[in-house]
Amino acid sequence: MNNFEEIKNIEYFKTLSEVQIADVAGVLKEENYEAEENLFIEGERSKGIYFVKSGTIKIYKSSKDGKEQILKLCYTGESFNDVTVFSANINPASADAVNKSSVFLLSKENLENLIFKYPEISLNIIRSLTDKLRFLTSRIEDLSLKHTQERIGKILLLFEGQKLSQKMIADIAGTAREVVSRALREFSNQDIIRLNKREIEIIDKSKLKKLVDR
């Protein structure tokens, strides 16, 4: 079956049988995006819920002066824009492809039909939304209670192994790129990380965790 493994890895559908997943595949619309291409804009009417097939999608809000605050980076198997299919039909944030990406789009109507046909999906959805709530609660705590250097350290731990530009780290941390650059140099001088062109390698994870948790 086309896309069986990709759909099976999605939290919403991971408990479904092969026959049921075939049914899900029939109502998913695949969309492909180039790096930095926009999927949708905050305030516009939602097309539905999205699932990442491949690549990375950033979810963000923009200020009037164009400054971005990245809320989340979504990777393979993750869903986003969930809230619009369960409440208001308006996108609460914007979404861009970080790199060449493919996503599945599922309309509100089709998701509701699947829930009625396969009630076990409801429990999977509750688990998924609970994980998102925990993540957002942690983000609020970071932005309000942690110092900038601690926030940057936590981002490095959270996205270890992923390629993040200094601008992206700044947008996630809610600070300026220059502040991120200084923090990374400081981490490097303390032998916590190794800077290799655009890649950041954590070489002393325990030391970084102590800095983040202090």
The domain boundary, picked from 112, 141, 170, lies at 141
Could you tell me the pTM of the whole model? 0.76
Distance CA 179, CA 168 (A): 12
Contacts of 1 (CB under 8 A, 6+ apart): 18, 21, 22, 25
202 and 109 housed in the same domain: no
The domain boundary, picked from 141, 164, 182, lies at 141
* Interval 100-134: pLDDT, tens: 999 999 999 999 999 999 999 999 999 888 888 78
Q: How confident is the model at residue 22 (pLDDT cuts 50, 70, 90)?
A: very high
19 and 112 housed in the same domain: yes
Residue in 152, 151, 135 with CA at minimum distance from that of residue 143 = 151
Can you tell me the mean pLDDT for 15-29? 94
The DSSP-derived string for 151-191 is HHHHHHHHTTTS---HHHHHHHHTS-HHHHHHHHHHHHHTT
Contact 104, 30 (CB under 8 A): yes
CATH number at residue 80: 2.60.120.10
* Interval 67-76: pLDDT, tens: 888 888 999 9
CATH number at residue 163: 1.10.10.10
Q: Is 1's pLDDT higher than 60?
A: no
* Interval 23-60: pLDDT, tens: 999 999 999 999 999 999 999 999 999 999 999 999 99
* Window from 2-6, 131-135, 144-148 with minimum mean pLDDT: 144-148
Average pLDDT, the chain: 88
The domain boundary, picked from 120, 141, 162, lies at 141
Residue in 92, 106, 101 with CA at minimum distance from that of residue 41 = 92
Can you tell me the mean pLDDT for 169-177? 85
Residue 101: per-residue pLDDT: 96
56: containing domain: 4-141
CA 182 to chain CA centroid, Å, is 26
